[in-house]
Amino acid sequence: MYRPVRTAAWSAGLVVLLVVVSLISAALGPVRIDLVTVAMAMLNAIVVPAGVTVGSATVPVLGLSVPVPGLEYAAVFSFDVPATRQIIVANLRLPRIALAATVGLALAAAGTVMQGFFRNPLADPSIIGVSAGAAAGAVAAIAFPALVPFGGLHLSAFAGALATAFLVYAIATDGGRTPVATLLLAGVAVQAFLGAMISYMLVHSGDSLREAVFWMMGRLNNSQWGDVAFAFPITLVGVLVLCAFRRDLNVLLLGEEDAHHLGIEVERTKLLLLALASVITAAGVAVAGIIGFVGLVVPHIMRLVVGPDHRILLPTSALAGASFLVATDTIARAGPAVVPVGIITAALGAPFFLFLLTRREVHSV
């Protein structure tokens, strides 16, 4: 039976886990920092708006340079932390941790929705080509920046992902109905085509080949607060709206005809779920590249732990995904050489998933 208290308790526990994993992650690195100092440095990084100022930034309007107002921020805490360690934690490690948590949150939530949407335990966020579309946009921006109509790797990848998702939906929709099987097959076909495009661009990318391949491996290197500012609002809003449709997702598992008889507007709900899952996946992939197995393995683990009810499964999977990616990224940068985090998630996720298969613990949704 679903109990809101149980959902709240699990969510609170997973939030605590995320905080602990983040503290440990921020403490580890070439310069080891004790956990107390890390906690104080993290608290020192919390700021709130304190006023409005007119800075040096301007925008052209009718030939005139109009100053752009900005916000002044004030620190909430002022613990005594050595300046070097404050910079290491707040400017170098914390943005990477925050971005890993954001991307993990997005991929795990999207994976949970996709598995419920397709009623297929092997579904993941990339099943309709979102990751392939993001990769096509990113590789185009890296290898052929002059051909991209709008600047920026993030925007190119984000636009490519969304364009692919809605192209697949348009192909699969006929007469106002979108059969799930047709949607899945359309996604496979579009992914194959985009894979060919990506390969062609990589062959002709010249000196940009290394950067493009590195991006496709999934990476959180050189993460900045600007990356977090791009992905976090989209992810937070998307996950919260998805959580509002947890009951509808449960009802869809009964089948579309039964869902219709129970008062669900099936096609509208399917479109909304697909769009939101695609948007948050696009946001995550745009800033971190293609990171596999987070949206596949984490929902399975949480389904074994908390059960198949999406009213508890969706929020707990999202929070567990955030902790999982922070932990795997910590492993990725713990060695003498930094490894793309996508390699670590695949190296850990694939054997674990095979273990679940051999134990027959990969249940249908």
pLDDT tens-digit readout, 48-60: 877 777 655 565 5
Q: What is the DSSP string of 270-326?
A: HHHHHHHHHHHHHHHHHHH----SHHHHHHHHHHHHH-S-HHHHHHHHHHHHHHHHH
What is residue 364's DSSP assignment?
-
pLDDT at 342 over 60: yes
The mean per-residue pLDDT over the stretch 341-346 comes to 93
- Go through the chain and tell me how many residues it has: 365
Alpha-carbon distance of 165 to 89, in angstroms, equals 37
Q: Which residue has the higher pLDDT, 210 or 53?
A: 210
Summarize pLDDT for 8-28 with one digit per residue, the tens.
999 999 999 999 999 999 999
End-to-end CA distance of the chain: 17
Q: Which amino acid is at 332?
A: A
| Residues paired with residue 59 on neighbouring β-strands, in sequence order | 66
Other C-beta atoms lying within 10 Å of the C-beta of residue 151: 10
Q: What pLDDT, on a 0 to 100 scale, did the predictor assign at position 100?
A: 97
Q: What pLDDT, on a 0 to 100 scale, did the predictor assign at position 286?
A: 92
Q: What pLDDT, on a 0 to 100 scale, did the predictor assign at position 57?
A: 58
What phi, psi does 175 have (nearest 5°)? 65, 35
Alpha-carbon distance of 132 to 345, in angstroms, equals 18
Let me know if 185 is exposed, middle or buried by CB neighbors in 10 A (0-12, 13-18, 19+).
middle
Summarize pLDDT for 109-143 with one digit per residue, the tens.
999 999 988 887 778 888 889 999 999 999 998 88
Q: What pLDDT, on a 0 to 100 scale, did the predictor assign at position 60?
A: 57
What phi, psi does 33 have (nearest 5°)? -130, 135
Confidence of residue 357 (pLDDT cuts 50, 70, 90): confident
What phi, psi does 296 have (nearest 5°)? -100, -50
Q: What pLDDT, on a 0 to 100 scale, did the predictor assign at position 67?
A: 66
Instruction: List the domains of the chain with CATH numbers.
Output: 84-359 (1.10.3470.10)
Q: What pLDDT, on a 0 to 100 scale, did the predictor assign at position 68?
A: 62
Q: What pLDDT, on a 0 to 100 scale, did the predictor assign at position 207?
A: 82
Q: What pLDDT, on a 0 to 100 scale, did the predictor assign at position 364?
A: 55
Summarize pLDDT for 135-167 with one digit per residue, the tens.
999 999 888 887 776 667 888 999 999 999 999
Let me know if 12 is exposed, middle or buried by CB neighbors in 10 A (0-12, 13-18, 19+).
exposed
